[in-house]
Structure 1
Amino acid sequence: MDNSVRPFGPAGLLLLAALTASMLFLPLVLPPLPPPPLLLLFIPVGLMAALVFLALSPADAMGNVAVHTL
């Protein structure tokens, strides 16, 4: 019995190789695309602002308090 850890089988490696090749060669073959609308560009900025707000806002820990006694 083989006890080695194998994260990807042959099919997974073939899929990753095909995805890598398509990311390398398709931009060279396809025509350039027009830029996206300006409103669409604000989605990542809004997501990052929401994540920063959630990371810096204080947590309401009153319901999660555990009392340890010896």
Structure 2
Amino acid sequence: MAKSNFGPFGLGGLLLMVVLAASMVVLPLMLPPLPPPPLMLLFFPVGIMAALVFLAFSPAEAVGNVVVHTV
């Protein structure tokens, strides 16, 4: 059995990604334009991003993470 040169993806995974990429190019050209979503729905991604930024920059509690340096 020959080894494929698609890296970590097999032939099926590569084929699936090609089909998904092609559908993302072709389907918007075929489907009718949709109305914009309500303004409240647009705040969900912004809220998730704000929560992730807050968690990324909030200090971690260092009570159990004490490191002793000896020379």
Using structure 1 for the length normalisation, give the TM-score: 0.79
CA shift, 1:62, in A, is: 0.9
**Structure 1: 5+ residue stretches without partners:** none
4+ residue segments displaced more than 2 Å:
66-70
- Change in CA separation of 1:22 and 1:5 when aligned onto 2, cut-off 3 Å: closer
Q: Does 1:20 align with 2:6?
A: no
CA shift, 1:66, in A, is: 3.2
Count of aligned positions: 69
- Provide Cα deviations, 1:11-70, integer angstroms capped at 9, x if missing partner: 111111111110000000001111111111001111111112112222111112133546
- More helix, by proportion: 1
**Structure 2: 5+ residue stretches without partners:** none
What's the Cα RMSD here?
Answer: 2.2
Using structure 2 for the length normalisation, give the TM-score: 0.78
Q: Report the identity percentage.
A: 68
Secondary structure at the residue paired with 1:6?
coil
Q: Which structure is richer in relative contact order (CA contacts within 8 A, separation 6 or more)? A: 2
Q: Does 1:30 align with 2:19?
A: no
